[in-house]
A and B are shown apart, each in its own frame.
Chain A
Amino acid sequence: MSTPVAQSLASGILVGALYGLAAVGLSLVFGVTKILNVAHGELLMLGGYASFWLFTLMGVDPFAGVPLSMFALVLVGLIVYQLLFSRLIKLPTEDKIRNSLLIGFGLGLILQNVALRLWTADNRGITTSYAGATFTLLGVRLPYVRVASLVIAFVFLLTLQLFLQRTYTGKAIRATAQDWEAATLMGINVHGVYRLSFVLGAALAGAAGTLVAVGYSVEPVMGMHWTLKSLIVLVLGGIGSIAGTLVGGLILGVTESVAALWISNYRHVVGLAIFILVLLIRPQGLFGAKEG
Chain B
Amino acid sequence: MTTKKGISLVLLVAGVAALCWVPRMGASDSLLNLLILMFIYTMLATSWNILGGYTGQVNLGHAAFFGLGTLAARMLYTAGRPLPLALLAAGVVPAVFSMLIGVPAFRLRLRGDYFTIGTLALSQILYITVGNVLPKITYLPIADIQNYQLGSRYYIILALALFTIGVAYALVKSRLGLGMVAVRENEDAAESLGVNAFTHKLLALAVSAFLGGLAGGAYAYYQTSYYFNYTFSPPWSLEPVNMTFIGGVGTIHGPIIGAVFFVLMKEWLVMRVGEYHLIIFGTLFILVVLFLPGGLVEAWERIRRALIRRPARRVALVPSAEGSDLLANSLTSEGKEVSMG
Residues of A near B107 (CB, < 8 A) are 279-280
State how many angstroms separate the Cβ of A87 from the closest Cβ of chain B.
6
Counting contact residues on chain B (CB < 8 A from A), the size range is 35 or more
Contact check, A101 vs B124: say whether CB atoms are below 8 A apart. no
Q: Which one of A110, A116, A276 contacts B101 once the chains associate, using CB atoms below 8 Å?
A: A276
- Chain A contacts with B in 88-110, Cβ cutoff 8 A: 94, 97-99, 101-103, 105-107, 109-110
When each residue 123-146 of chain B gets 1 if its CB lies under 8 Å from chain A and 0 otherwise, what string results?
Answer: 011001100110000000000000
Q: How far is the CA of A36 from the CA of B107 in the complex (A)?
A: 21
Contact check, A283 vs B58: say whether CB atoms are below 8 A apart. no
Contact A114:B279 (CB < 8 A) given known A102-B58, A283-B111: yes
Contact check, B108 vs A224: say whether CB atoms are below 8 A apart. no
Contact check, A279 vs B289: say whether CB atoms are below 8 A apart. no
Tell me if B39 counts as interface (CB < 8 A to partner A). Answer: no
Residues of B near A68 (CB, < 8 A) are none
- Beyond contacts A109-B279, A110-B286, A276-B100: 7 other A-B pairs, Cβ-Cβ < 8 A, are A38-B60, A98-B58, A109-B234, A116-B275, A224-B234, A228-B125, A232-B121
Chain A: residues with CB nearer than 8 A to chain B? Answer: 36, 38, 84, 87, 94, 97-99, 101-103, 105-107, 109-110, 113-114, 116-117, 224-225, 227-228, 231-232, 234-235, 264-266, 268-269, 271-272, 275-276, 279-280, 283
Q: Which one of A98, A117, A271 contacts B56 once the chains associate, using CB atoms below 8 Å?
A: A98
State how many angstroms separate the Cβ of A34 from the closest Cβ of chain B.
9
State how many angstroms separate the Cβ of A190 from the closest Cβ of chain B.
21
Q: How far is the CA of A279 from the CA of B113 in the complex (A)?
A: 12
Contact check, A228 vs B133: say whether CB atoms are below 8 A apart. no
Contact check, B278 vs A109: say whether CB atoms are below 8 A apart. yes
Contact A276:B285 (CB < 8 A) given known A101-B60, A102-B245, A235-B117: no
Contact check, B285 vs A106: say whether CB atoms are below 8 A apart. yes
Q: Which one of B121, B128, B242, B276 contacts A275 once the chains associate, using CB atoms below 8 Å?
A: B121
Contact check, B108 vs A283: say whether CB atoms are below 8 A apart. yes
Q: Which one of A36, A97, A225, A280 contacts B124 once the chains associate, using CB atoms below 8 Å?
A: A225
Tell me if B292 counts as interface (CB < 8 A to partner A). Answer: no
Q: How far is the CA of A271 from the CA of B56 in the complex (A)?
A: 26
Q: How far is the CA of A235 from the CA of B275 in the complex (A)?
A: 35
Residues of B near A272 (CB, < 8 A) are 121-122, 125
Contact check, B132 vs A106: say whether CB atoms are below 8 A apart. no
Contact A113:B121 (CB < 8 A) given known A84-B290, A94-B112, A97-B112: no
Can you show 14 pairs from A to B with CB atoms below 8 A apart?
A: A97-B113, A102-B285, A103-B286, A106-B238, A106-B242, A106-B282, A109-B238, A109-B282, A110-B279, A224-B124, A227-B120, A234-B117, A269-B129, A279-B107
Residues of B near A268 (CB, < 8 A) are 124-125, 128-129
Residues of B near A271 (CB, < 8 A) are 121, 125
